[in-house]
Structure 1
């Protein structure tokens, strides 16, 4: 059989449990569910770093973030390190991206058409890279700078800003962001001044459909659709937010933070100070609205595949770079090793395989690197990777995948063995949780089980060799 097309849909800061196929009843995601109905969902999947840049670089390289040399945002991908995009291109694939890459985030310039030469070097043949969500209103090469002159191309950071400028919408968008950042609260939420059709993720969805319309059938393709939502700021279009107007969402995980490290206590206080229950519910309304908009575009992309007769030879993957705390333990965003930030949605649907359902494998985001290569029939050296292919789980589901999941940042790292999670916090107390008995991570049992903590720390050091 010919090499399949591979469609990778990534969302940014998307909780693993905010999909109806994952059992939630407070946000409906029929089109993401459509992918799950045809494939394997990995409910225990984790990211290898709960921050955008390191997570995406780890996927590109197929190794842990510390081997890439990236444990924080704004670090560019090393130009000398190979990517799976390059391997696909060498094998004859057309390799496209629409949306955020974060592979040269430190530059904060993406080209007026999203096609800087560095993206070709990384392996893309058809790049259309956009700004990320948080920095979409910032001036070129200057983070936290809103002094954009719509008439000066040297101020424009990327194609989405140019798109808004050409429609007379850039100033309103920039001023709205200026207002949000001037009095920044992690729980501030109000609708975007933009109509839904001009929202950033609508732009990405539309450009992705345009690629599918024009891509020739002469070679297989890999399309990386990289939505920037539902990442904060919480600014979904009003017509989507209004659909949740009377919705009361389930409570977040409350926590007295007993035996939590000091840096988490400080972070929680900073994130939740002054927040009411209504404020938190309002954030969730906007988060759910952003997810619904993305799900609608997922549906349009899938419909496009079917209309062009591509569905039977296109592997569809849905995933996120990391999760979102959404008020759990008083926290928002990511940058912690707790479940809300660590777990990600991961679904792989291969139309050539009849098997569908779920897998409890300890899958990691970077595992998509060898998975995609194997699906494409491309040989690779396992000895050079930390990642392991998930293809055996797609085909049979009986073979063991990994004994541990590992995730890391510059100040903390985590190992999980399927039941116990050990978190090492630099210059602070460490944590140990029994997720079988304490899925909300409320009781740090490290003092009661020092031997278990030592064993997991030892395994973590082996993974970092």
Structure 2
């Protein structure tokens, strides 16, 4: 296959980003004109889900093309098994230059990324160009501990990655660490106040700028895949003040209120812990920070798209926009992820292939793991389809019917989920099972596990088949 038949592949991933917080979804949450630019030229998968609503397992599953349990990764701090092949390796073998800018979470247990973000481990995993950064939550940490407030500018031993080094070299790291210490000393999931950093030096600005620099210097002697991995809009809620001001006092739709009577005990405990003492104004402030963080990311998505167009790369580049998982944002009294409810499970997923301009939406039961074979198919790379849980989405990109998978599957260390698109069954370890009719009850307020035993059994059987 010649180079001309191989497109460049740009994957833009965001962290903890709700499926309904993009304006092309038709919701009144936040304006995302640049993400909408991708959707206007591509297919938006309205029902897409992640395969584990937590960062590490989700990203590992994408890399491997199989569900998390097959690679032994159901925890957020488990390193990717080095013997497990990745799609990055397959693309490299197919002649691609393979780059990453931002968070990988493929060796999250180490919490060290190198001063320049280019540890040898990442080359083994298949990358040829590496600029890996710390994640959002641990951006002020050194080996899972908060840095000391007194930071020696001549001592690199406390630096976990290139973003910390960047802040230190500009005299900004001490203020950043002090702010994180304040947040963690009195940790509440609904605390929200602006970062001490100006927008120019915010973590996602650093990633967006480095991504554009990569695109500016990449040669056209071989096709390339760039994985741009933003760390936001993940908490802590600390959007730059200038972006929070642009959101102003605008209202937001209410979160899902739930008595939790039919929910598992572990969910009830979690909800109490997450939102105890929270006022309506506290929740509104969180949403404004979340919208502000998304707006900043959207601005950088626009700059990335402009860079492609200026370099005349846009017509040869397939663009994918997705998230590793969602964010509960107060639904059922919960924040963050680590549950099987729609807010955490569902993700935005948009794919635009300019060579085959099919635009619109798809109801296919897409999963994040499906991007693995999709990328390889687009690249014309060889791979063992039967060994993967992911199924290529290329037929949907070519305007073919929505038939894709019969079920979606996701798992954590204490729960797992299977859905046929209408009914969702959740198995909670040592706790009550849950069954929701997403067509009649999209807010997941009525647990039908006792009322619909036949559907529950069918989905349970499907789950056991998937886990074989």
Aligned-partner Cα distance in 2 for 1:26–1:71: 31
Instruction: Spell out the pairing of 1:215-234 with structure 2 (5 A cutoff).
Output: 215-234=218-237
Name the SS of the counterpart of 2:141 in structure 1: coil
Uncovered stretches (5+) of structure 2, i.e. residues with no partner: none
Q: What corresponds to 2:151 in structure 1?
A: 149
Instruction: Spell out the pairing of 1:147-226 with structure 2 (5 A cutoff).
Output: 149-151=151-153, 152-226=155-229
Name the SS of the counterpart of 2:290 in structure 1: helix
The answer to whether the 8 A contact 1:9-1:318 is kept is yes
Is 2:59 aligned against 1:50? no
Q: What corresponds to 1:411 in structure 2?
A: 414
Aligned-partner Cα distance in 2 for 1:36–1:450: 40
Partner of residue 311 from structure 1, selected from 298, 309, 314: 314
Aligned-partner Cα distance in 2 for 1:463–1:223: 31
* 1:157-192 C-alpha deviation (Å, 9 max, x unpaired): 000000000000000000000000000000000000
The answer to whether the 8 A contact 1:99-1:227 is kept is yes
Name the SS of the counterpart of 1:96 in structure 2: strand
The answer to whether the 8 A contact 2:114-2:162 is kept is yes
Q: What corresponds to 1:136 in structure 2?
A: 139
Give the drift of 1:246: 1.3
* 1:353-384 C-alpha deviation (Å, 9 max, x unpaired): 12110000000001000000000111211111
Name the SS of the counterpart of 1:324 in structure 2: coil
Aligned-partner Cα distance in 2 for 1:150–1:13: 33
Q: What corresponds to 1:329 in structure 2?
A: 332
Aligned-partner Cα distance in 2 for 1:354–1:345: 19
Name the SS of the counterpart of 2:231 in structure 1: strand
Paired positions, count: 464
Name the SS of the counterpart of 1:108 in structure 2: coil
Q: What corresponds to 1:298 in structure 2?
A: 301
Aligned-partner Cα distance in 2 for 1:62–1:229: 24
Partner of residue 252 from structure 1, selected from 248, 255, 263: 255
Uncovered stretches (5+) of structure 1, i.e. residues with no partner: none
Aligned-partner Cα distance in 2 for 1:224–1:143: 28
Aligned-partner Cα distance in 2 for 1:420–1:132: 34
* 1:189-229 C-alpha deviation (Å, 9 max, x unpaired): 00000000000000000000000011011000000000000
The answer to whether the 8 A contact 2:74-2:411 is kept is yes
Give the drift of 1:243: 1.1
Give the drift of 1:452: 1.2
* 1:89-120 C-alpha deviation (Å, 9 max, x unpaired): 01110000000000000000000000000000
Normalised by the size of structure 2, how large is the TM-score?
Answer: 0.98
Aligned-partner Cα distance in 1 for 2:89–2:280: 48
Name the SS of the counterpart of 1:153 in structure 2: coil
Aligned-partner Cα distance in 1 for 2:169–2:347: 36
Name the SS of the counterpart of 1:188 in structure 2: coil
Is 2:457 aligned against 1:454? yes
Which stretch of the first structure deviates more once superposed, 141-150 or 422-431? 141-150
* 1:113-139 C-alpha deviation (Å, 9 max, x unpaired): 000000000000001000000000002
Give the drift of 1:399: 5.2
Name the SS of the counterpart of 1:205 in structure 2: helix
The answer to whether the 8 A contact 1:138-1:148 is kept is no
Partner of residue 111 from structure 1, selected from 86, 109, 114: 114
Aligned-partner Cα distance in 1 for 2:411–2:149: 35
Partner of residue 284 from structure 2, selected from 281, 284, 296: 281
Aligned-partner Cα distance in 2 for 1:391–1:148: 52
Give the drift of 1:450: 1.4
The answer to whether the 8 A contact 2:12-2:321 is kept is yes
The answer to whether the 8 A contact 1:148-1:156 is kept is no
Give the drift of 1:147: 5.4
Name the SS of the counterpart of 2:444 in structure 1: coil
Give the drift of 1:146: 4.7
Aligned-partner Cα distance in 1 for 2:131–2:199: 21
Partner of residue 125 from structure 1, selected from 106, 120, 128: 128
Aligned-partner Cα distance in 2 for 1:162–1:447: 55
The answer to whether the 8 A contact 1:359-1:397 is kept is no
Provide the alpha-carbon RMSD of the alignment. 0.9
Give the drift of 1:385: 0.3
* 1:404-426 C-alpha deviation (Å, 9 max, x unpaired): 00000000000000100000000
Q: What corresponds to 1:82 in structure 2?
A: 85
The answer to whether the 8 A contact 1:42-1:359 is kept is yes
The answer to whether the 8 A contact 1:407-1:415 is kept is yes
Normalised by the size of structure 1, how large is the TM-score?
Answer: 0.99
